[in-house]
Every structure is written in structure tokens, then in C-alpha cells.
Amino acid sequence: MLLQEFDLEIKDKKGIENHVADQLNQLRIEDIQTKTLRETFSNEQLYVLHSSIRPWYANLVNYVVTKEFPPGLSTSQKDKLRADAKYYFWDTPYLWKFCVDQVVRRCTIR
């Protein structure tokens, strides 16, 4: 397939409208060539934060996926979880919700 077979028109954006090209254009070649990659971190320790607080969606996702209640829930909490879960479904790696306006929305996990 040759490019001449198509009726193609290329439109260029000015530097102000095309931010990526504008930033790349402002880089100096000397700066790019003299930079080397660092093989180590400045602080060679990685930290892990442990939290005992479970996210709001943990019980919901576990119930939607396994249909099992977490241990220690009261009857009213199980009823609430069951009622809430009917609006959600899990499609790895996202949690989705059937909303009132008939739109399926992806839940943001923070």
C-alpha cells in the first residue's frame, strides 16, 4: 500500500498550541548528550507503609468476587453489604458500578 493512494492533508499546530513539540524544541542537544543515567537512588532505601485501615471498597470487592461475607460482620452489616453489592461488579483490575442514570461507571480507587 502506497501513501499516494490516500488523499491526506497534514495540519501543523503552532508552538504555543503544541506544548510537547515546543518543549522538545527548547532542549539543547548538548544537554541531552552529556546527561548520563544514574544506576542508583540517592537514598538507597525503599520504605513500605503499613496501614491497618482497610479501603472503603475492600469488603465490597471481596463479597462481589467470592460471594462470602468477611468474618465478624453483624446481620445488619451483611444486609447492607448485600444491598450495596448488587450495583457493583468486578472486572479485573477495576470495580464498576451500575448507576441510577443507566450508565456503568468505573470506580476510582484511592
Higher pLDDT, 3 or 77: 77
Contact partners, residue 99, CB within 8 Å, separation at least 6: 87, 105
Joined together, the cell numbers standing for residue 61 give 470487592
Across residues 32-44, what is the average pLDDT?
A: 63
15 pLDDT higher than 90: no
In single-letter form, the type of residue at position 94 comes to Y
pLDDT digit string, tens, across residues 40-84: 666 655 566 566 677 778 888 889 888 899 888 899 999 999 999
Residue 52 lies in a domain: no
In a domain, 51, yes or no: no
Specify which residues 88 forms β-bridges with.
97
Predicted confidence at residue 56, as pLDDT, reads 78
Cis previous bond, 93, omega within 30: yes
Q: Answer yes or no: is 25 within a domain.
A: no
pLDDT value, residue 1? 46
Do the beta carbons of residue 103 and residue 96 sit within 8 Å? Answer: no
- Residue range(s) defining the domain that contains residue 68: 58-106
Contact assessment for residue 81 and residue 63, using Cβ atoms and an 8 Å cutoff: yes
Q: Is residue 4 part of a domain?
A: no
For the chain, the domain total comes to 1
The whole-model pTM stands at 0.47
The owner of cell 552529556 is 34
